Chains A and B, each alone.
Chain A
Amino acid sequence: MTNTVVIGAGLSGLVAAIRLARGGHTVTLLTKGLGGLQLSQGTIDVLGYAPERVDAPVDATSSLPATHPYKVLGPAAITAGIAYVQELLGDRLVGNADRNVLLPTAVGALRPTCLVPPSMTAGVVTGGIRYVLVGFRQLKDFYPKLCAGNLERQTTPAGDQITARGVILDLPAIEDMADSSALAYARALDDPSYRTKLAAILKPMLEDGEVVGLPAIIGHRDPGAHRHLEQLLEHAVFEVPLPPPGVPGIRLNEALTALAKDAGVRIVAGAKVVGFESAGGKIVSVGQATAGRIRQYAADAFVYAPGGFESGALTMDSYGTVTETIFGLPLHGLGPDLVTAGDPGNQALFRVGVGVDSSMRVVDPAGHAPYSNLYAAGGILAGAIRWTEKSGEGIALASAVVAADSILKGA
């Protein structure tokens, strides 16, 4: 009864599932865990470095090598992916596909990204900006003075000076808590009275014209928390994403998961897909290791969006053999010195992945499709080092939209 099975609950899996379900398909989404989206920074990176810093991300994809997923997708698909996530999330994301912005990271680097939550826009670096970064003695993931010091060592892209200072508050998320997580603060800040308490301590420490950078903790589920805090402080306020658990990533994941459920996607979480059955050059069903047995899910088409090495969808053994772990698909980008050549984190190994044609159908390096109804999207795709390029979300969105549309057209 299921038209399409989607494997994976990250950005590409959720978006593909929503698009298919809204397109009239019955969709079952199978996922091992919660999906990686909440480990993200809650922004939409399209292309940040190629290899120099990029200002116009879609335009800059033309300079990428032919093996890059963006070259397979083409600029129209990249733009369509960005437009679709904006359509889905509305005013939860601000920005446009033609232009990157630079945002301070938790260590005070300037990170290029494309779409950002409204709670981050005040932090976009501009000439003459004066930052005050605010940390908490009880929050060990953010050191405002380190962040401020590093920001002051840089200039804006136009060469203007950046001014920044750091202050530390002694305010736990919950009374007497010695060590509060970002999420504990975010839950506390969902309560207007906690915002008032924070503002009462912080406001006297602010100087005229300063833009206030807080770690990304301004409310978990209350979208009005950021605006309220700005009103209380009478200053522009922005959020700086932290290491996981990243609250902006949690918000994004919850929003998209809710949209998937609203669209009628049946989500079956908690167990890995461990096998499949095929016939006549097609995948017939995939088997998920539910409690006590392997349950087969049959479908007409399959979207494979499991992520890459980080999720275990790709593995490398001690002999250097790289494997795609569910379907045993042919891989692209294999060669000698996968690990030993290249800077750490930038080795050729990380470009190894699954190849696709322009419809996102999985193909081997010779261009033949091993299964005519198997499509891939997101981090499993060969040819990109997403964390170095800052390209992960853009690839996920464009490939998810194209894979979903290919399946909908074929139906």
Chain B
Amino acid sequence: MMFEPDSHEHDLLNRASLDHCVKCTICETQCPVAAVTPLFSGPKYVGPQAERFRHGESVDHSLDYCSSCGICTHVCPQGVHIAELNSVARAAMKADHMPLRDQLISRTTFMGMAMTPVAPIANAVLKFKPARIAVEKVVGIHRDAAMPKAHTQTLVGWLRGRTAPKAGSRGKLIFFHGCAQNYFEVETGIKTIEVLEHLGFEVIVPKQGCCGLPLQSNGIFDTARSWVRKLVAQLREAPQDLPIISCSTSCGGMLKHEANEILGVKDADLLEVGGRMRDICEFLLEMYDNGELDTSGWLPNQLTIPYHAPCQLRGQNIGTPAVQLMELVPGITVVESGAYCCGIAGTYGLKKEKYDVAMKVGKPVFDKVVAVNEGVAACDSETCRWQIEQATSVPTVHPIAFIHQAMGLSRLPVKTGS
């Protein structure tokens, strides 16, 4: 497939940053997929090297095994947009024959809307092995892959049903919940809102749709662009001078940089919204750094927490703020997974042909969680939490849960034992 001469794909496929590549191979050494399977020839080979031969068409089909974790771009000392080149090239490769499966799993809002009204049934079906085998055979979603758990109440439903606390002293914030917090990770959304309100913020939650990230990572670019533009407009219906807080790592990252760098959406509105987007841990740690977060009343918790910083968080280049934030709770010790990716990479690990690779990618994470945990693990990204929980049977929560607990807002996720 060839692209329009002025399109983002055309620009990126033809030039972009590939001439900055000095062949140092740092990306090859850090790629979590190439480390576990010879099916993927590595980010440098399929990226800046194969790029020269593409002329708009893909020449190396091992590219499909790239999980889009983005670690290659993150570690590159020369600023080559390796992951972005590869995402665009994969979209070109798949454009004429997009699998039904990839069309389905990339529409999270649809899955959420379909599952929520029948949550108990949907959850039971997803646990029912013969059904999963059928789904694997027909659609191509691996029978053992971690699937989200549906809830009978959405976050929006919770918001509607409650009486919001009185406006606090610190002013207003906008909360971007993303699809996962609305449909599948309602509790994380509630805890994030409650932590912010406890700190004295008034939390505004404008009506919002999907950011289009799953579509983007599956190569369905046009629809992804229209979805992210719609979301930007929705978020801009709230006051436009307020920070936007997200507890969904990948969706926040989509608005911060991926819609711009991968989809080529350069709208001023998107860049403006991306500049205001903050990961919840990034936001709270920056408050702490500025002397604005009083932790003196936080309840102690004698707990060692295995923590995995998701690839999609690393791609935002903000460090690992959850580590420092959780360790502000007296008694908490955080042990990092030491690995870049848990393997799921959004929807990659769901796919029948990628499942084994994804589980091998995630093995160091799973081993660390199993070895270190005292009953609970932490990770910022929802799909990673599902993956880690599925692989280790260790309950895995967003880091905000420990802050929520330290503020005395809940007794879970774990006993304090101080």
Least Cβ distance of A392 to chain B in Å?
16
Q: Which residues of the other chain, B, contact A270 by a CB distance below 8 angstroms?
A: 73-75, 314-315, 317
Asked whether any CB of chain B lies closer than 8 Å to the CB of A204, the reply is no
Within 8 A of A (CB), among B275-330: 275, 277, 288-291, 314-320, 324
| Given A291-B316, A293-B275, A33:B35 Cβ within 8 A | no
Q: Of the candidates A36, A291, A311, which one forms a contact with B256 in the assembled complex, judged by CB atoms under 8 Å apart? A: A291
Q: Is A68 an interface residue (CB 8 A)?
A: no
Q: Which of A129-157 contact B (CB under 8 A)?
A: none
Q: Are B257 and A34 in contact (CB under 8 A)?
A: no
- Interface size class on chain A is 35 or more
A35 at the interface (CB under 8 A from B): yes
Evaluate contact between B26 and A33: CB separation under 8 angstroms: yes
Is the CB of B392 closer than 8 A to any CB of chain A? no
Contact, CB under 8 Å: A181 / B256: no
A288 within 8 A of B: yes
Q: Is the CB of B257 within 8 A of A292?
A: yes
**B208: A residues at CB distance < 8 A:** none
Residues of A within 8 A of B78 (CB): 33, 312
Partner of B274 from the list A28, A33, A36, A292 (CB cut-off 8 Å) is A292
Q: Given the interface contacts A1-B291, A292-B257, does A245 sit within 8 Å of B29 by beta carbon? A: yes
Q: Does A177 contact B (CB under 8 A)?
A: yes
The residue in A270, A291, A295, A311 that gathers the most chain B C-beta atoms within 10 A of its C-beta is: A291
Q: Which of A112-120, A195-203, A261-269, A342-350 lines the interface with chain B?
A: A261-269
A residues less than 8 Å from B318 (CB atoms): 268, 290-291, 295
Q: How far is the CA of A36 from the CA of B79 in the complex (A)?
A: 14
Across the interface, name the chain B residue whose C-beta is closest to A298. B289
A20-44 CB mask vs B (1 if < 8 Å, else 0) is: 0000000010001111101100000
A271 near B75: Cβ-Cβ < 8 Å: no
Contact status A245-B289, CB under 8 Å: no
- Work out how many contacts link A and B, with CB atoms closer than 8 A: 90
Residue of B nearest to A26 (CB): B289
Q: Which residues of B contact A2 (CB under 8 A)?
A: 289
- For A32, list chain B residues within 8 Å (CB): 77, 79
Query: Is B84 an interface residue when CB atoms closer than 8 A count as contact?
Result: no
A272 to B253, CA, bound (A): 18
* Bound Cα distance A323, B318 (Å): 27
Q: Which of A1, A291, A311 contacts B315 (CB 8 A)?
A: A291
Q: Which residue of A lies closest to B290 (CB)?
A: A1
CB-nearest residue of chain B to A2: B289
Residues of chain A with a CB closer than 8 A to B133's CB: none
User: How far, in whole Å, are A268 and B314 apart by their CA atoms in the complex?
Assistant: 9
User: Which listed residue, B38, B73, B75, touches A177 by the CB 8 Å rule?
Assistant: B38
Contact A250 B79 (CB under 8 A): no
Chain A 260-303 against B: per-residue CB contact (8 Å), 1 yes, 0 no?
01000011111110000000000000001111110100000000
Query: Which residues of chain B come closer than 8 Å to A71, judged between CB atoms?
Result: none
Identify the interface centre among B73, B74, B77: most chain A CB within 10 Å of its CB: B77
- By the criterion CB–CB under 8 Å, are A34 and B26 in contact? yes
Question: Given the complex, which residues of B lie within 8 Å of A292, measured CB to CB?
Answer: 255-257, 271, 274-275, 277, 316
Q: Are B319 and A244 in contact (CB under 8 A)?
A: no
Interface core residue of B257, B291, B315, B318 (most chain A CB under 10 Å)? B318
A159-215 residues with Cβ-Cβ distance < 8 A to B are 174, 176-177, 181, 183, 187
Q: Are B75 and A266 in contact (CB under 8 A)?
A: no
Once bound together, how far apart are the Cα atoms of A269 and B74, in whole Å?
Answer: 7
Cβ–Cβ contact B28 & A183, under 8 A: yes
Q: B291: which A residues are within 8 A, CB to CB?
A: 1
A311 contacts B77, CB within 8 Å? yes
Can you list 29 residue pairs at the A/B interface with Cβ under 8 Å? A33-B74, A33-B77, A33-B78, A33-B79, A34-B26, A36-B77, A38-B26, A38-B29, A181-B25, A181-B28, A244-B25, A245-B29, A266-B324, A268-B319, A269-B74, A269-B317, A270-B73, A270-B314, A271-B317, A272-B79, A291-B253, A291-B317, A292-B274, A292-B275, A292-B277, A293-B256, A293-B274, A293-B275, A311-B77
Please report B residues at the A interface, Cβ cutoff 8 Å.
24-26, 28-30, 35, 38, 73-79, 253, 255-257, 271, 274-275, 277, 288-291, 314-320, 324, 336
